[in-house]
Structure 1
Amino acid sequence: MTETDKYRRDMGTFGVLFIVVNGLIGAGIFGLPEVLHVAVGEFAPWLLLLGGVVVSAIVVCFAELTKLTDRSGGPQRYVGDAWGDFAGFQVGWAFFIARLISQGANVLVLVAYAAALWPAVGEGLGRTLLIVAVLGSLTGINIVGIKRVVAALGAMTFLKLVPLLILMFAGLAAASAPGPLVLPQFSEVEGIALAALYAYVGFENATIPAGETRDPRRAMPRALLGGIAVVTLIYFGLQWAYSHSIIAGTGPDAPLTALAAEYGGDMGALLIAATIVVSVLANLTAGLTSASRMPPALADDGLLPAWFSKVSRWGTPANSIAFFGVGALIFALNSSFLVLAIISTLARLLAYIASIVSLPKLRRNAGLPAINFTILIAAPIALVLSVWATLQTSIDQWLTLAALALAGTALYFIARRNKTVLKN
């Protein structure tokens, strides 16, 4: 059995779309409206719309990349196929570790929101049991088949988007008439643009489980482009409703919850609070589903032990999924480690840059022209945006990522040495 057919391809276009949408919409958008409004006023919806359009340049490049392989790995696969095993391993390793740590951090975000609804899970045994239950159930459902993951993600996507859409349309209907649009100073936009762009980070998760996707060369481009369009419009609508409401600028800690309370009273606020919990849970599900498929991609190339790519009777990489679930649990239960979660964004940005740079070479390898019109327009915008975003990070983030890369280098050469010994 070859590496491209040993996994069951049970995920279609909608499954990929669910991962895209839930990778993008987590907890961030629920706190962002007030921050953006305070910074740039009624220009805030347009800033989010502009952010979505600009980030679409990166998404377009990834859509082109997904047409060139049907194997799992996402950025690791693209970079490895273009520049060799070492480069691909470093991208895959950094991405995997960053996602593993941030998964632990995101579980604590879920616990914090859940505790607002049910205080018993906010501390002590209740907190521990909730963390174990969440990560255990997500790990289990991934092991028994990606088809079940898609069904769960579909249900959670419905449960979180419907309340948001209701709030958005209620807010749009009640919004005050907009006045003349006043463009903010460039310095004001520059100071808040990174926060707006980070709301669009996470789409790349959907490219990783290509080996478990039916016809990924068609399904993934459609889902990526459709997902970024849907999320951009939702972000724009929610921000417009908020910025043109009486709540805007009053400083609420939970702006969308306050907006829901304005239109629906306590019941509306409770509904949005529950929506936040579902949204974070869906984001965790999408994160575990994608990141747990990175080690099998590395193992298939002989860059990690074959144990990681062992296939269960359900056609899933069960060992890798369990490894990721246990690792995330360890980080979640030892929150002192979670300061490392900040490197997740930097690792993603570097994966963006490396993947986009790989695109012309991969196209030549496939017998295609290195550049087409789409890439000619999108790639320069995507690279400038990604490089600019990396320059906004701190030296501590770079040093932490460098330490992880050094550890990965050691593992790479150990794996290569073992591979050579086995061949001999």
Structure 2
Amino acid sequence: MTDAGGKYRRDMGTLGVLFIVVNGLIGAGIFGLPEALHAAVGTFAPWLLLIGGVLVMAIVVCFAELTKLTDRSGGPQRYVGDAYGDYPGFVVGWTFFAARLISQGANVLVLVAYAAALWPVVGAGAAKVVLIVVVLGGLTIINIVGIKRVVAVLGAMTLFKLLPLLVLMAVGLASAAAPGPITLPQFSAVEGIALAALYAFVGFENATIPAGETRNPRRAMPRALLLGLAVVTMIYFGLQWAYSHSAIAGTGPEAPLTALAELYGGNVGALLIAATIVMSVLANLTAGHTSASRMPPALADDGLLPEWFGKVSRWGTPANSILFFGAGAILFALQDDFLALAAVSTLARLMAYVASIASLPRLRTQAGLPALNPTIFIAAPVALTLSIWAATQTSSDQWLTLGGFAVVGTALYFIARRKSADGLPDRN
């Protein structure tokens, strides 16, 4: 593969990639999941999350292998494009970007909803609009002035959101009832909740996109991916164990971790977790903004989108693309009626997983390596099976929406190729 030409400043190290992995995984979902999991499978719930983390690790292992083969930005788009040519890579990159743009707008509405629980005035009207613009505008500015600053902000957010969760987990584990024998649930119960558990582990792939702004990405990214998923899996396991062995498990609270914090810490504990949820969603938005806004520059670098998207600021960042992403997310968020479309983001990710993993043997062959090694031989079949199964659990509407994105992207692709007087040749 072609190495990056030094177009962007490589200001992010392993720790920065780790922050993106952790915050890409931990959003708002885990705060509402414990009761649903417990209601479905009882005290087997922690083990279900552990099994989910182990299975998703197979996908992460494949991505870790992929990151060793390039130091250029793009993530899934880069892998598929280098393996199968410009157009397949463009479709994967464009659909991933478009879906992530919509979900960014949807996620900021989740942030507003949680913030309104603490400060009701921001839940409607002009104050709501101001909060949306301030949050997404602020993330845009921080990203433009340098990924080093993003890493610093993400580091602080990660600390403030993980510390309360770790304290709650420790207190909950210390106070948990003595576990009885493990009772395996009915398969139908596991099948009914497995997809929800799996969705708690998507988002790690965001960290692979800004490889061109990462120091020694072939070394930093594999480490951060593997460590990040392992850490998050153990946090999920510990929180679920603490909840499933508490007095409130099975009582149906709408905000289970908030209820658990209130059980052990009273109103102060509940308020702290509520604030933690807001911080968690904000950190998730920050990680998503940093990664997804780097997809169009990767496409522009290959001549698949206008050069405008790849223009570099004086801070060494793709400023135009970051601004485009921020403005688009604000416009979607202000619509306030499209939350159902956010589900297509997961489908786009699953398709990116399948296409990227399928690219691995060819990319290794291009690099002069054996198509498979023992690690890939074991992990790839598990990763592909899991991704394809999850994709089959989605609705026809989500497939139609994703197809619509692909059609729009295809039109843009051929327009860009036609307007480029000396466009890059297709790599097929």
TM-score tier by shorter-chain length is over 0.9
Match of 1:293 in 2: 294
Deviation per residue, 1:71-95 (Å, 9 max, x gap): 0000000000000000000000000
Match of 1:321 in 2: 322
Match of 1:276 in 2: 277
Match of 2:91 in 1: 90
Deviation at residue 419 of structure 1 after TM alignment: 1.5
Match of 1:31 in 2: 32
Aligned AA for 1:35?
A: A
Match of 1:351 in 2: 352
Aligned AA for 1:131?
A: I
Deviation per residue, 1:381-404 (Å, 9 max, x gap): 000000000000011111111111
Match of 1:339 in 2: 340
Deviation at residue 422 of structure 1 after TM alignment: 6.9
Deviation at residue 338 of structure 1 after TM alignment: 3.3
Deviation at residue 4 of structure 1 after TM alignment: 3.0
Q: How many residues are treated as equivalent by the alignment?
A: 422
Match of 2:13 in 1: 12
Whether the 8 Å contact between 2:116 and 2:122 is mirrored in structure 1 is yes
Deviation at residue 98 of structure 1 after TM alignment: 0.3
Distance 1:342 1:75, change over 3 A: same
Deviation per residue, 1:169-192 (Å, 9 max, x gap): 000000000111100011110110
Tell me if 1:185 matches 2:186.
yes
Distance 1:422 1:272, change over 3 A: closer
Match of 2:228 in 1: 227
Deviation at residue 342 of structure 1 after TM alignment: 1.4
User: CA–CA distance in 1 between the matches of 2:417 and 2:340?
Assistant: 32
Match of 1:61 in 2: 62
Deviation per residue, 1:241-299 (Å, 9 max, x gap): 00000010000000000000000000000000000000000000000000000000000
- TM-score computed with the length of structure 1 as normaliser: 0.99
Structure 2: give runs of 5+ residues left out of the alignment.
Answer: none
Deviation at residue 3 of structure 1 after TM alignment: 4.6
Deviation at residue 421 of structure 1 after TM alignment: 6.2
Match of 2:240 in 1: 239
1:26 partner SS: coil
Whether the 8 Å contact between 2:38 and 2:45 is mirrored in structure 1 is yes
1:336 partner SS: coil
Deviation per residue, 1:401-424 (Å, 9 max, x gap): 11111111111111111124679x
User: CA–CA distance in 2 between the matches of 1:128 and 1:8?
Assistant: 34
Percentage of identical aligned residues: 79
Distance 1:42 1:139, change over 3 A: same
Deviation at residue 48 of structure 1 after TM alignment: 0.2
Aligned AA for 1:329?
A: I
Deviation at residue 319 of structure 1 after TM alignment: 0.3
- TM-score computed with the length of structure 2 as normaliser: 0.98
Match of 1:73 in 2: 74
Whether the 8 Å contact between 1:3 and 1:300 is mirrored in structure 2 is no
User: CA–CA distance in 1 between the matches of 2:423 and 2:389?
Assistant: 44
Distance 1:422 1:256, change over 3 A: closer
User: CA–CA distance in 1 between the matches of 2:97 and 2:5?
Assistant: 21
Deviation per residue, 1:174-233 (Å, 9 max, x gap): 000011110001111011000000000000000000000000000000000000000000
Task: Spell out the pairing of 1:337-416 with structure 2 (5 A cutoff).
Answer: 337-416=338-417
Whether the 8 Å contact between 2:55 and 2:382 is mirrored in structure 1 is yes
2:9 partner SS: coil
User: CA–CA distance in 2 between the matches of 1:347 and 1:144?
Assistant: 29
| Deviating 4+ runs (over 3 angstroms) | 420-423
1:38 partner SS: helix
User: CA–CA distance in 1 between the matches of 2:233 and 2:405?
Assistant: 33
